[in-house]
Amino acid sequence: MGGVTISFRSNARLAVDRDIEYEAVPLSQVLRATDAAKKIKLVMLDACRDNPFGTAPDRGAGSRRQNVHRRRAVASRSTSGRGLAEVKVAGATLVVSPRKTDRSRSTAKAAFAFAVAVVQRIATPGVEINKVFRLVRDDVMEATAGLQEPYTYGSLPGKEDFFFVAR
């Protein structure tokens, strides 16, 4: 627990904090999975929610089980309480999140605004990847009246440009 960002399936069954160990994948493990990337490492988190247990998770074995449902396949949560935990990356790595740590509010509209903006922007030919995510940020800020601010952690080398769709 303690400030770790985790990802889990939308149908994960979480009743007590110990369930996280079996139902979730820490962001650090996801980042390690990108180690074989030749030029850049890119991780896009599609949902950032608060800790499903709040600030005081139920550690008891006899608690009622709950099903955590989300419309997306994977959600990311901080086990520290609010939103995404601090993200530390090194090298040519980007981690893109629909909100910066615990600084912006999440709403249903905001969750969809991020996904819509990403899908629309990555299809645009000739737009460098860093610019794509800055445009996504602007789109989401506009769509949510400033309630949600996407954030990109990390940086890419300046000697080469990277594109989702070439020019």
pLDDT at residue 78, rounded to an integer: 43
φ, ψ dihedrals at 31, nearest 5°: -65, -40
- Residues 30-82 have pLDDT tens digits of 888 999 999 999 998 876 555 555 554 444 443 333 333 332 233 444 444 45
Edge-to-edge strand order for the sheet containing 74-78? 24-26, 5-9, 74-78, 48-49
The whole model's pTM is what? 0.72
pLDDT at residue 80, rounded to an integer: 46
Q: For residue 37, what is the enclosing H or E element?
A: none
- Residues 95-118 have pLDDT tens digits of 998 887 655 555 666 668 998 999
- Tokens representing 10 are 């939308």
How many angstroms separate the CA atoms of 26 and 77, rounded? 9
- Comparing CA positions, the residue from 14, 31, 21, 47 lying closest to residue 148 is 47
Report the length, in residues, of the chain.
167
Count CB-CB contacts under 10 A for residue 84: 26
The larger pLDDT score, comparing residue 137 to residue 48, is at: 137
14: left (phi over 0), alpha (psi -120 to 50) or beta: beta
- Residues 12-34 have pLDDT tens digits of 777 777 787 788 888 888 888 99
What is the mean pLDDT of the segment spanning 154-165?
94
Q: For residue 30, what is the enclosing H or E element?
A: helix 27-33
CA dihedral 71, 72, 77, 81 (to 10 degrees): -20
